[in-house]
Amino acid sequence: MLFSVSLLGFLIWVHLFLYEKKSEGNLFYILFTLLEMSKFLYLIIIGFSVIFFGFGVYLLFKKKKNKAVNQ
């Protein structure tokens, strides 16, 4: 849920940023700047998604192990 909210916020930010700068006519410079910033943001998003995925898998296996022990 947190990943989808952060991704939606990022997409809204990119859309507003590009729409605002497109009216000025300097779109290519802004796109190159945005791509440089996006590399860092993509690394952060990928890192958080890997952490949350790993934590979810850990909790899933822990839950299955507890069910097997209780039976």
DSSP 8-state secondary structure symbol assigned to residue 46: H
User: How would DSSP label each residue in the chain?
Assistant: -HHHHHHHHHHHHHHHHHHHHHTTT-HHHHHHHHHHHHHHHHHHHHHHHHHHHHHHHHHHHHHHHHHHHH-
* Confidence (pLDDT) at 1: 56
Q: Taking the domains of the chain in order of start, what are their residue ranges?
A: 2-70
* Confidence (pLDDT) at 51: 83
Q: What is the pTM of this model?
A: 0.41
The pLDDT tens digits of the residues spanning 6-61 come to: 777 777 777 666 666 555 555 556 666 666 666 677 777 777 878 888 888 888 88
Q: How large is the C-alpha radius of gyration of the chain?
A: 19
